[in-house]
Amino acid sequence: EATIEVTGLRKRFGQTMALDGMSFTVTPGQVTGFVGPNGAGKSTTMRVILGLDAADEGSALVNGRPYQSLRNPLGHIGALLDAAALQPSRTARNHLLWLAHSQGLTAKRVDEVIGLVGLESAARRKAGGYSLGMRQRLGIAAALLGDPPVLMLDEPVNGLDPEGIVWIRGFLRSLAAEGRAVLVSSHLMSELQDTAGHLVVVGRGRVIADTSVAALIAAA
Ligand code: ADP
Ligand code: ADP
């Protein structure tokens, strides 16, 4: 089954304990909100899951395996970390074609994901003219190229206009409704409470609360 399983991650940067026993699970069919103040360790956790940072201790598994051991990583997990660094003179479609080609995916799939994120009319324009909202859509299109059962997004609505925020929330819910596991971070609980069915609240590198939103509402 499609999952992310994080167990006992510890990670130190010099004197800073970025992760201090981080453990949680992301399950399919719902959006898991990863909430906590800036500096709580959300991005570091996501980077460890993607194999971009090494943990000092603990494990992070994607569909039961470490990211580095996945033979077809983009078919397992798609990620949107920081707003994509785009070569401004290239079109959005060319960015995706390049990525698809490097992963053995087709131009047909590129046009599918462009449609999924609603970038049809802009995809043949140079990315240099893209707004943040369009760059986020392009990043999400890239994450979806391999049709992965697991998606992970780090602060995807940061800096977006209200229309972009509404779109991303609805889109994440629809990805979860298709049965995917979706992990999305925010430093604001209010950004996630209507989107996530499951909340993992973190502070100082560890989980403070792990609950379904239904249980949270029932207890309030
Ligand atoms: P969040 O995503 O929740 O804001 P981060 O994972 O970015 O938190 O950061 C967790 C802690 O680790 C912070 O104190 C941050 O300053 C520190 N940190 C993260 N990355 C680095 C790095 N490359 N070098 C030094 N410190 C880092
Ligand atoms: P760098 O940040 O060092 O330039 P890359 O961004 O090329 O590295 O990616 C480093 C690793 O992260 C690669 O193994 C790549 O497969 C993975 N990766 C990059 N982007 C994604 C994504 N959207 N979804 C899943 N994995 C990704």
Predicted confidence pLDDT, tens digits, the chain (220 residues): 779 999 999 999 999 999 999 999 999 999 999 999 999 999 999 999 999 999 999 999 999 999 999 999 999 999 999 765 678 889 999 999 999 998 899 999 999 999 999 999 999 999 888 998 999 999 999 999 999 999 999 999 988 999 999 999 999 999 999 999 999 999 998 889 889 999 999 999 999 999 998 888 888 7
- The answer to whether the CB of 28 falls within 8 A of the CB of 179 is yes
In short, whether 207's Cβ falls inside 6 Å of ligand 2 is no
The rounded distance, in Å, linking the Cα atoms of 188 and 34 is 10
CA of 11 to the centre of ligand 1 (A): 10
In short, whether 151's Cβ falls inside 6 Å of ligand 2 is no
pTM of the model: 0.88
- The answer to whether the CB of 9 falls within 8 A of the CB of 162 is no
CA of 212 to the centre of ligand 2 (A): 30
Complex-level ipTM: 0.75
Q: Beta-strand (E) ranges in 27-76?
A: 30-35, 57-62
- The answer to whether the CB of 150 falls within 8 A of the CB of 132 is no
Sheet containing strand 30-35, strands side by side: 77-80, 150-153, 181-186, 30-35, 198-203, 206-212
